[in-house]
A and B are shown apart, each in its own frame.
Chain A
Amino acid sequence: MEYKLSFKDYHKALMKNKLMGLKCKACGTITCPPQMSCRNCTGFDLEVVELTGKGKITTYTTIYVAPEGRENEAPYIIVLVELEEGPWIMGNLYDMDPARADLDLIGKPVELGTRIFPGDKYSDGPAARPVFRFTDGK
């Protein structure tokens, strides 16, 4: 069975600032990032849909010790975001000083932008990187 939404296609869409997901024709659940089966009912009958990219922060951390090759990125903020359509995705929060991130971030509305992780020697090429900014511009 072919993937409805492969990594490559998800990546290409995200590079154009479009966040794509999968809607289950059986139960209506949205799955994102994509996978072979519906995250709720395990059905395979999925259709590709574009998501709003809007959501709220559910948790965060500021990374101070980065993996090899990414040391110059630190410190940076990682967030988990609950999208309006339901699924959570991981990304970065770029429009604040990482040292000032605290628990007040949780619940803040955010929207999607995109940057790219150029890849390293282990990653088989680049990957679009969801980054978020505050919806209210703060």
Chain B
Amino acid sequence: MRKVAIVGTGHTDFVSDGPKTEVEMFCEAATEAMEEASVTPKDIQALYCGNVFGDFAEGQGMIQSYIANELGCHHIPATRFEGACASATLAIRDAFIWVASGFYDVVLVGGTEKATAMGTPLATRTFAMGSDGKYEFPAGITFPGFFALLANLYSANYDVPMERLREQMSMVSVQSHFYGTKNPHAQFKHKEVTAEQVSKGFMVASPLRLLDCCPFSDGAAALVVASEEKARELTDKPVYITGVGQASSPRLSAQAPFLPRIRAREVSVKQAYDMAGVGPQDIDLCELHDCFSIASLIAAENLGFAENGKAGELWEKGETKIGGKIPINISGGLKAKGHPIGATGASQACEVARQLRGDMDSEGRQVEGAKIGLVDTLGGDGIISNLVLQTNV
């Protein structure tokens, strides 16, 4: 396999009720990435696009074909990836594989979503499509409900009293909003929150309250990935994709032997770590899938940053901040940056790549000296994809 590098990154503002279409948002992120990489439409050999609910939000399917055309990449193969909230990470993993294999030299990859166009009731319905429609949706499961079940199980299994877990979950949201105010693209760039606001917000699915939950969001992000040889022509600051992983899960109830762990994440991240030849102790920063505050704790454990039941201590001790042992979601995360689901994985990879290039000083949130970063994305109740990104190869 050939080495593969990210040579360009693009990221729109993440917003609620945005004025732009999904195609427009993707194309704005894509052209930013293409300019950064100094490539033209003629250089792009394939387009991989994460998009989940365009059908419901805009009545638009097969968006990838129109995106390719609008960008001037006429007639190139364009493929849409649907893996719920992990869609764009699956797209990046495939872009990596096709470039690594030698089939392509330059691929444009990203995602776009306009979730707020659906409104909360329909969005709650469509997001629940990331659970088992026949055997679990009849009970009325929602996406917050999935993680609410895990939060209560977490408290009981690991003997973390709910009062303490409540405090830990609030710390997660407070930190995310703090860093979100430093990210000019964040949906909540003007909103800090207090632990009391988080713990007193209205209940969505007990024990999860409003500020435990990420918002519905509109936005897009994109990357240009290229072979090592091509990358050397295009940029002085390639960020290499050195490890990728992906794993699937059964319906939530059938994950019983492992819950509240998400076993698929442990499988996926091991693939990524092994391919890169690194372990959790080597990771300088991580963007993980904090769709809910409890999801951050579970993810940090599944990724190897803490023992099961102990991840809350990372936030309690400030180890997840810049300067801590493992800076997590310095972008503001899904919670404060926003979560346009088809775009989220590309946004995470964009964020980690920019951190590794040292671009974040101007925003006051650079993780100094970061060389190895991890992307973690969860779709529905169990599609996981992970990426290890590195500058030191």
Residue of A nearest to B121 (CB): A68
> Could you tell me which residues of chain B, from 162 to 194, have a CB within 8 Å of some CB in chain A?
162
Question: Whole-angstrom distance from the CB of B176 to the nearest CB of chain A?
Answer: 20
Cα-based distance from A59 to B208 in the complex (angstroms): 14
Asked whether, in the complex, the Cβ of A67 is within 8 Å of the Cβ of B254, the reply is no
- Which residues from B are CB-within-8-Å of A33? 134-135, 251, 253
B370 located at the interface, meaning its Cβ lies under 8 Å from any Cβ of chain A in the complex: no
A117 located at the interface, meaning its Cβ lies under 8 Å from any Cβ of chain B in the complex: yes
Question: Whole-angstrom distance from the CB of A36 to the nearest CB of chain B?
Answer: 11
> Could you tell me which residues of chain B, from 37 to 63, have a CB within 8 Å of some CB in chain A?
none
Among candidates A61, A68, A103, residue contacting B149 with C-beta atoms closer than 8 Å: A61
Asked whether, in the complex, the Cβ of A61 is within 8 Å of the Cβ of B145, the reply is yes
Q: What's the interface size class on B, roughly?
A: 35 or more
Known: A68-B124, A87-B253; 7 extra A-B contacts, CB below 8 A, are A69-B125, A90-B252, A90-B253, A103-B152, A117-B137, A117-B138, A128-B138
Given the interface pairs A63-B205, A122-B125, the reply to whether A90 lies near B135 with Cβ below 8 Å is yes
User: A: which residues have CB within 8 A of B?
Assistant: 7, 33, 35, 39, 58-71, 73, 76, 78, 80, 82, 87-92, 101, 103, 106, 117, 120, 122-123, 127-130
- Which residues from A are CB-within-8-Å of B142? 63, 65-67
B148 located at the interface, meaning its Cβ lies under 8 Å from any Cβ of chain A in the complex: yes
Asked whether, in the complex, the Cβ of B153 is within 8 Å of the Cβ of A59, the reply is yes
- Which residues from B are CB-within-8-Å of A117? 137-140
> Could you tell me which residues of chain B, from 207 to 251, have a CB within 8 Å of some CB in chain A?
207-208, 250-251
Asked whether, in the complex, the Cβ of A103 is within 8 Å of the Cβ of B162, the reply is yes
9 tightest Cβ-Cβ pairs between the two chains A and B: A61-B148, A117-B138, A68-B121, A67-B125, A59-B153, A88-B256, A33-B135, A68-B125, A127-B138
Among candidates B133, B134, B139, B256, residue contacting A78 with C-beta atoms closer than 8 Å: B139
Cα-based distance from A64 to B207 in the complex (angstroms): 11
Cα-based distance from A82 to B253 in the complex (angstroms): 9
Cα-based distance from A82 to B256 in the complex (angstroms): 9
- Which residues from A are CB-within-8-Å of B156? 59, 103, 106
In this complex, the member of A71, A87, A127, A129 whose beta carbon has the largest number of chain B beta carbons within 10 angstroms is A127
User: B: which residues have CB within 8 A of A?
Assistant: 120-122, 124-125, 128-129, 133-142, 144-145, 148-153, 155-156, 162, 202-208, 250-254, 256, 259
Question: Whole-angstrom distance from the CB of B208 to the nearest CB of chain A?
Answer: 8
Given the interface pairs A7-B134, A68-B125, the reply to whether A61 lies near B205 with Cβ below 8 Å is yes
Asked whether, in the complex, the Cβ of B150 is within 8 Å of the Cβ of A59, the reply is yes
Asked whether, in the complex, the Cβ of B139 is within 8 Å of the Cβ of A92, the reply is yes
Among candidates A66, A80, A127, residue contacting B134 with C-beta atoms closer than 8 Å: A127
Cα-based distance from A119 to B129 in the complex (angstroms): 13
Asked whether, in the complex, the Cβ of B203 is within 8 Å of the Cβ of A62, the reply is yes
Residue of B nearest to A125 (CB): B134
Given the interface pairs A69-B125, A103-B162, A127-B138, the reply to whether A64 lies near B153 with Cβ below 8 Å is no
Asked whether, in the complex, the Cβ of B124 is within 8 Å of the Cβ of A65, the reply is yes
Asked whether, in the complex, the Cβ of A90 is within 8 Å of the Cβ of B141, the reply is yes
Among candidates B124, B148, B153, B254, residue contacting A58 with C-beta atoms closer than 8 Å: B153
Question: Whole-angstrom distance from the CB of A43 to the nearest CB of chain B?
Answer: 16
